[in-house]
C-alpha cells in the first residue's frame, strides 16, 4: 500500500478545486493549474479534501496512486503559497542582478551571462550574491534553478560557483608540497 497515496489532500481556504473525469483544476490566489491523471487511479473530492485511490492492485496502479496524489498536492500548494528555490553565489567577483526580463550573471567568464526568465517564474536578487526563483509550478521552478546553477556549478576545492542555499559542498584537499 502506498503510504503517500493514502493521505488525503486538504484544500485550504481561498483555493477551489474542480474535478472532471481524470482532470483536476485548481484555482487559488497565485493562479490556476491543472493535472490529468492516468486511468489507473480514481480522483474524488469530498468535504474540503481530495482523495486518490487506485483502480486495482497492479504494480502500475500502485505507482500512479502515490504519484498522482503528490501531483495534486503540488497543484494545491503551488496556487496557494507557491514554490521557492534560493541560490547563492560564492567566488570573487561573482554577482547577479536583474535587468528587465533577464538575469545578468558575472561568473568569472570572459563575458557576462544573460539568462532569460521563462514565463510563469519570477526571479529576484535581494543581494548581489543571492538569487531567488519563485513560481507556482514546482517542476519549472526547479528546472530554472538548475539551469542557472549549471552555468557555474560549485567546485570541490574552493567551493566557488552557484549553489543551492541548503546545499553542502564536499571539499577536497588541495595538492601537497
pLDDT > 90: percent of the chain: 78
Average pLDDT over residues 99-119: 92
pLDDT digits (tens, 9 = 90+) for 2-42: 688 889 999 998 899 999 989 999 999 999 999 999 999 99
State how far the Cα of 104 lies from the Cα of 147, in Å rounded to an integer. Answer: 14
* Banded pLDDT at 141 (limits 50, 70, 90): very high
Cβ neighbours for 138, distance < 8 A, ≥ 6 positions apart: 74, 77, 78, 83
Predicted TM-score (pTM) of the model is: 0.86
Q: Is 67 helix (H, G, I), strand (E, B) or coil?
A: helix
Q: What is the CA radius of gyration of the chain?
A: 21
Which pLDDT tens digit goes with each residue over 118-140?
A: 998 999 999 999 999 999 999 99
Q: Please name each of the domains of the chain with its CATH number.
A: 3-80 (3.90.930.12), 83-164 (3.90.930.12)
Amino acid at each position: 500500500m502506498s503510504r503517500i497515496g493514502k493521505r488525503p489532500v486538504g484544500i485550504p481556504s481561498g483555493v477551489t478545486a474542480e474535478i472532471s473525469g481524470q482532470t483536476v483544476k485548481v484555482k487559488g490566489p497565485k493562479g490556476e493549474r491543472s493535472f490529468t491523471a492516468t486511468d489507473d487511479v480514481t480522483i474524488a473530492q469530498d468535504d474540503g479534501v481530495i482523495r486518490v485511490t487506485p483502480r486495482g492492485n497492479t504494480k502500475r496502479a500502485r505507482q500512479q496512486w502515490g504519484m498522482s496524489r503528490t501531483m495534486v498536492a503540488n497543484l494545491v500548494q503551488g496556487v496557494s503559497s507557491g514554490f521557492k528555490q534560493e541560490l547563492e553565489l560564492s567566488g570573487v567577483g561573482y554577482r547577479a542582478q536583474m535587468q528587465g526580463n533577464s538575469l545578468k550573471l558575472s561568473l568569472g567568464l570572459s563575458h557576462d551571462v544573460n539568462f532569460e526568465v521563462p514565463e510563469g517564474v519570477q526571479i529576484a536578487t535581494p543581494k548581489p550574491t543571492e538569487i531567488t526563483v519563485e513560481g507556482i509550478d514546482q517542476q519549472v521552478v526547479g528546472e530554472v534553478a538548475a539551469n542557472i546553477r549549471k552555468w557555474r556549478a560549485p567546485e570541490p576545492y574552493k567551493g566557488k560557483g552557484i549553489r543551492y542555499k541548503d546545499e553542502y559542498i564536499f571539499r577536497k584537499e588541495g595538492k601537497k608540497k
